[in-house]
């Protein structure tokens, strides 16, 4: 819902007052906690509520290249004179242009590989984050706070376990994340964040821009990510790698993700047009997803048609519109949606998906977290829609 100017002004005034009081208490060493609001209007649903829902889903509660240094380059031993070529070497030199071309290509490939292996971050480094702010890094961060499960998963995937000094209450993967100090969930524990003395605080869309600015007001170096597509997710992982000087590790992660995507695209391309399935996705009771969200991209990359593709973002389900689309498959959240409520929905009993019992539960964390496992979620969606078609 679009809030009226009056109500929004009142809320912003109250938020500013709360922020000022909170900052004062934290700087004074108090036990202040800073809330990351979901901005849900209690009276009706709309874009504001949709934004809050998206932040919730990104936590999974509805439920990032090179630590390898430059290879040491030793000097060549001096040589008094070049040795005379052996018979085999002379023969090699006389071989045709095809062999010469092959050798040149091999040399170029080796040179490219060496260049990739030698990639490392040059500091100082300045990058612009999702809020448009330019953030400077004088060196690779040694103390990192991550305030979103997707970011924590990415950081662990880059081998940054020792550098992570705090995570959100919702972080549960990998297993080691559960043992990290907790910095709060939707309500952030700013005292704990400040006490951790991080070099950088990584946040995602679950943390709104007002909260980001409040954290920056406490002297924290905050870098926000907000990916909307699979390509955005992989680009962000590359940025994690650049910031932390783990570029080789980040490339390994994104190479695997690209291979997953290519595998699914190849399989999807082999699906006959007549066999393409229409899919309805319900990831929160009564809510579905349309264009502009990566969950919609998961469906479309799988070679299926999203029954809610003509809507944008997250929205309350339009029952009549879905009945009109008559989906072949219904996908739903394993953690938050009871499939029986879908079956019992008025007018839905005759949907092909229900008639053929093709309601499939999805692993919430795989498909809702825009991190390194999102392509595992893509594979899960494809297998749910087209069983036994992935090679």
Strand partners, 361: 332
Asked if pLDDT for residue 163 goes beyond 90, the answer is yes
Q: What is the pLDDT of residues 331-381, one digit of tens each?
A: 999 999 999 999 999 999 999 999 999 999 999 999 999 999 999 999 999
Rounded to whole angstroms, how far apart are CA atoms 331 and 307?
11
Contact 164, 144 (CB under 8 A): yes
CA dist 106 → 110, 112, 229 (Å): 6, 10, 36
pTM (predicted TM-score): 0.73
pLDDT at position 102: 53
Render pLDDT for 136-148 as a digit per residue (tens, 0 to 9).
999 999 999 999 9
Query: Over 70: is that where the pLDDT of 328 sits?
Result: yes
3-state secondary structure of 206: coil
CA-based torsion, 21, 27, 32, 37: positive or negative? positive
Q: Which two tokens stand for residue 104?
A: 């040149």
Of the candidates 238, 258, 260, 288, which has an alpha carbon nearest to the alpha carbon of residue 378? 260
Give one DSSP letter per residue of 37-54, joined into a string: -----SS--SHHHHHHHH
The answer to whether the CB of 268 falls within 8 A of the CB of 261 is no
State the pLDDT at residue 196: 98
In this predicted structure, what is the pLDDT of residue 349? 97
What pLDDT is attached to residue 279?
98
Alpha helices in the chain (DSSP H): 5-27, 47-59, 87-93, 97-117, 149-157, 190-195, 209-217, 230-244, 247-269, 294-301, 319-325, 339-343, 352-355, 364-368, 374-385
Which of 301, 306, 313 is closest to 375 using CA atoms? 301
CB atoms within 10 A of CB 250: 27
CATH 1.10.287.1060 fits 1-63+120-226, yes or no: no
Write down the pLDDT at residue 119. Answer: 85
> What is the per-residue pLDDT across 193-239, written as a single tens digit (0 to 9) for each?
999 999 999 999 989 999 999 999 999 999 999 999 999 999 999 99
Phi, psi (deg, nearest 5) at residue 361:
-80, 140
The CATH architecture to which 269-385 belongs is 3-Layer(aba) Sandwich (3.40)
User: Where in the chain do CATH 3.40.50.1980 domains reside?
Assistant: 1-63+120-226, 269-385
State how far the Cα of 375 lies from the Cα of 324, in Å rounded to an integer.
Answer: 30
45 versus 113: the higher-pLDDT residue is 113
């Amino acid at each position: 819902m679009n809030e009226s100017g009056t109500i929004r002004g009142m809320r912003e005034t109250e938020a500013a007052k709360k922020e000022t009081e909170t900052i004062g208490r934290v700087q004074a060493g108090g036990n202040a906690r800073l809330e990351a609001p979901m901005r849900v209007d209690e009276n009706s649903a709309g874009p504001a509520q949709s934004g809050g829902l998206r932040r919730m889903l990104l936590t999974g509660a509805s439920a990032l290249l090179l630590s390898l240094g430059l290879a040491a380059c030793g000097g060549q031993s001096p040589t008094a004179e070049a040795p005379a070529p052996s018979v085999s070497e002379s023969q090699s030199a006389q071989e045709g242009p095809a062999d010469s071309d092959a050798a040149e290509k091999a040399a170029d490939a080796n040179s490219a590989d060496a260049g990739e292996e030698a990639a490392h971050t040059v500091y100082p480094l300045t990058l612009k984050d999702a809020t448009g702010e330019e953030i400077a890094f004088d060196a690779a961060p040694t103390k990192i706070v991550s305030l979103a499960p997707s970011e924590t998963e990415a950081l662990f995937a880059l081998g940054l376990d020792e550098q992570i000094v705090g995570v959100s209450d919702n972080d549960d993967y990998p297993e080691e994340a559960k043992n990290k100090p907790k910095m709060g969930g939707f309500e952030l524990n700013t005292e704990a964040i400040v006490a951790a003395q991080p070099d950088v605080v990584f946040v995602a869309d679950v943390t709104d821009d007002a909260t980001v600015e409040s954290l920056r007001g406490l002297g924290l170096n905050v870098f926000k990510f907000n990916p909307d597509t699979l390509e955005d997710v992989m680009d962000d992982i590359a940025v994690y790698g650049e910031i932390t000087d783990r570029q080789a590790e980040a490339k390994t992660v994104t190479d695997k993700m690209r291979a997953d995507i290519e595998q699914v695209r190849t399989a999807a391309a082999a699906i006959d047009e007549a066999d393409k399935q229409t899919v309805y996705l319900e990831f929160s009771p009564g809510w579905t997803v349309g264009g502009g969200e990566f969950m919609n991209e998961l469906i479309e990359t799988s070679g299926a048609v999203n029954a809610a593709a003509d809507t944008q973002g997250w929205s309350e389900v339009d029952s009549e519109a879905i009945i009109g689309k008559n989906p072949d498959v219904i996908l739903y959240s394993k953690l938050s949606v009871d499939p029986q409520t879908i079956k019992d929905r008025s007018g839905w009993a005759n949907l092909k998906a229900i008639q053929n019992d093709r309601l499939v539960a999805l692993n919430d964390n795989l498909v809702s977290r825009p991190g390194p496992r999102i392509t595992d979620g893509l594979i899960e969606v494809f297998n749910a829609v087209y069983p036994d078609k992935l090679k």
